[in-house]
Amino acid sequence: MSGYTLYWRRGSGSVVIEAALRMIGADFNCVEMQDSAMCQTPEFLALNPAGKVPVLACPSGPVIAESAAILLVLDDLLPEARLLPPHGTPGRSKAVQWLIFMSANIYTADLRYYYPERHTTDTSPAAAAAIKRQSALDMDRDFAQIASAIEGPFLLGETMTITDVYAAMLADWHAPAMQLPEIATLVAHVLENEAVRTAWENQGFGG
Ligand SMILES: N[C@@H](CCC(=O)N[C@@H](CS)C(=O)NCC(=O)O)C(=O)O
């Protein structure tokens, strides 16, 4: 399998896609988006009208946006790489449920936390501060739910899936999550994986 192109940005959700590509041994090249303006060019908007990374162009033609969707498609294309448990197993249901939970809830809360001004028409500093406070509380609640579902050390027990890598990415953005012992243990085990460590280093995580 060769010829993937990953559109990425330092410190963004593209890190879990690079980790997945490395875990499956795919050939890929990277196009770095240096800033928000680069994500708003007509060329990039033709790939993802939302103007956001990550975006993955597949060698067979499709261009996919949305981090969780990209991971599900990669798993479909290369099921033997076991980014996720096999179709039809209880483990897969659980891994997919938490992957979507994190992408729908925690990723979006992180965006509210880091870019509060984009989430209100009220331009006052107090409004931004209130959005930051609430999004931090939302993430605390959501990470606690994940922590209670972790079998240990990974979500599904002894076998790491891409859902664990996704959780580690989100924990890097929300340091209080590391105070939960189940999350800290999961992250420590995820970072033992060489493919993950390389992606973390390339994309400015772990600092
Ligand atoms: N739901 C999307 C969120 C993607 C997203 O918001 N990406 C951010 C970086 S983490 C982005 O590209 N923002 C564009 C900008 O800030 O200009 C996903 O899961 O991929």
pLDDT, mean of each 10-residue run, the chain (207 residues) = 88 98 97 96 97 96 97 96 97 98 98 96 97 98 98 98 98 98 98 98 93
Neighbours of 64 (CB within 10 A): 19
Helix (H) or strand (E) holding 69: helix 67-77
* CA 23 – CA 9 distance, rounded (Å): 20
* CA 56 – CA 69 distance, rounded (Å): 10
- Mutation choice for ligand 1 from 17, 52, 119, CB with most ligand atoms inside 8 A: 52
Domains 4-81 and 90-200 are alike in CATH topology: no
Q: And the tokens for 178?
A: 């590391």
Q: What is the whole-number distance in angstroms between the Cα of residue 193 and the centre of ligand 1?
A: 25
Structure confidence at residue 2 (pLDDT): 56
Q: What is the dihedral of CA 152, 190, 91, 81, to 10 degrees?
A: -150
Give domain limits for the chain.
4-81, 90-200
Structure confidence at residue 1 (pLDDT): 45
Neighbours of 147 (CB within 10 A): 17
Q: Which CATH number fits domain 4-81: 3.40.1160.10, 3.30.60.50, 3.40.50.10490, 3.40.30.10?
A: 3.40.30.10
Neighbours of 1 (CB within 10 A): 16
Q: What angle do CA 158, 194, 166 make, to 5 degrees?
A: 60
Beta carbons of 113 and 139 less than 8 angstroms apart: yes
**In the chain, how long is the greatest CA-to-CA distance?**
51
> Under CATH, what is the fold of the domain 90-200?
Glutathione S-transferase Yfyf (Class Pi); Chain A, domain 2 (1.20.1050)
Pocket of ligand 1 (CB under 6 A): 9, 12-13, 36, 39, 52-54, 66-67, 103, 107, 111
